[in-house]
Amino acid sequence: MLDKKNIKDLGFDELEIYIKENRLPRFRAAQVFEWIYKDAASFREMTNLPKNLIEQLEGDFYIGRAYIAAMQHSKTDNTRKYLICFEDGNAVECVLMDYSYGKTLCISTQFGCRMSCEFCASTTGGLIRSMTSGEMLEEVMAVSRDIGERIGNIVLMGTGEPFDNYDQVMKFIRTINHPKGLNIGQRHITLSTSGIVPRIYDFADEKLQCTLAISLHAADDEARSRIMPVNRKYNIEKLMEACRYYINMTNKRITFEYALIKDVNDSIKDAHKLGTLLKGMLCHVNLIPVNKVEGKNFLKASKEKINSFKTALEGFGIETTVRRELGSEIDAACGQLRQKHISRQ
C-alpha cells in the first residue's frame, strides 16, 4: 500500500486530472467521486465503472478507511467521543454532539499540536504530523458509518491547529462541500484558530462561507502570552487587525472563543478588558467553562463568575453565549482520550 495513494486525498479537480491523463471520459471522475462518498469499501463495488478502470484504480490507489478504537457515550446528553485510528497507527479524537438542529461533529486536523496552549490536553507530546484532507474526511465518514446517519455540521476544533495545516484543511472544506461528495454546506462548517495571523488574511481572501472562530481566551498580551504562546509571535493588536480585515472582506461575524479559567481570566476586570477590545466589532463571544485536564492546574470558573462575566460583556453590546457543557463525564477536554491511548502503547 506504500506505493499507492489514498484516493480520498484527491479533490474532485485532481480526480478529473487523473481521468483526463488516462484518456478516459470526463464523466468517469464524477462516477468515481460519488462512489467514494457513498462509502464504497473497494473499487470492485463501483459497479458502473468498466473493468479496465477498476483495475487501474486498484493499481494506483487504495480507499483509506479508519477504524474506531474506542468510543465513550455520555448517558446525560448523547454526546459520543471517538478515538479513530489510521493505517500508520496514529490516532485522533472527534466528538459527536446532538443538538436540536442536528448532529455536529468536532474533528481533529493534526496528530498532536505544537501550539502549546497551557490549558489544552492536545498539546501534550507535541505535533506528530498533520492530517491529510482524506484522513479528515474519513473522521466524518467513520462516525457517520458508526451511527448510520448523515452528519450535517462540522467544527474543526479538535486536536491540532487548522491554520498550521492550511492547504489540507482548505482541500478538506472544498471536498466535503462538493455536491457530488458529502455535500455539507460551508455555512455548516466552523473553523477555529489560535490566531495564526497570516493565515487569517489568506482565509479571508478565500471568501468561503464558513464561520471563523478565534480562540482568544485573554484580552491583554501579558495574560494571553502566558497561556497561549502563539500570542508572542502574533499579539492581540495584530490579531485584531487581521480579524477586522476578515470581517471587511467577508461581511461575516467572527466567533471569539473564551475559556473561563478560575483566577486566571474570569474577573469582571477581565470582562471589561474583553468588552473594550471587541466593542463595535461584528462578533459573538462564546464563553467556555474550561474542562479539567490531567496534569494541569487550571480549574473551571464558578457559575456565578461565568454569569457575571456574560452580563458584563452584554453591557458592551456584545452578543454572548455560554457553551453548553457536553459529555463532561467522558474525557471531554480535547486530547485526553488520545493521551490515554498513547500512554498504553
Nearest alpha-carbon partner for 138 in 174, 180, 92, 203: 92
Cα separations (Å) of 343 from 182, 227, 329? 35, 25, 20
Question: Between β-strands 110-112 and 127-130, what pairing exists: parallel, antiparallel or unpaired?
Answer: antiparallel
Helix (H, G, I), strand (E, B) or coil at 62: strand
Element at 51 (helix H, strand E): helix 51-60
Handedness of CA 57, 58, 59, 65 (dihedral sign): positive
Measured distance CA(169)–CA(177) in Å, rounded: 12
Cα 136 to its chain centre, rounded Å, is: 9
Measured distance CA(107)–CA(125) in Å, rounded: 19
Active site residue 106: no
Handedness of CA 156, 161, 162, 165 (dihedral sign): negative
- Select which of 45, 85, 93, 257 is catalytic: 93
Active site residue 94: no
Strands (E), the chain: 5-6, 61-62, 67-73, 80-85, 91-99, 102-107, 110-112, 127-130, 153-156, 189-193, 211-215, 254-260, 283-289, 319-322
DSSP state of 300: B
Question: Between β-strands 319-322 and 283-289, what pairing exists: parallel, antiparallel or unpaired?
Answer: parallel
* Residues ≥6 apart with Cβ < 8 Å to 111: 90, 91, 92, 127, 128, 129, 130, 131, 159, 160
Residues designated as active site: 93, 334
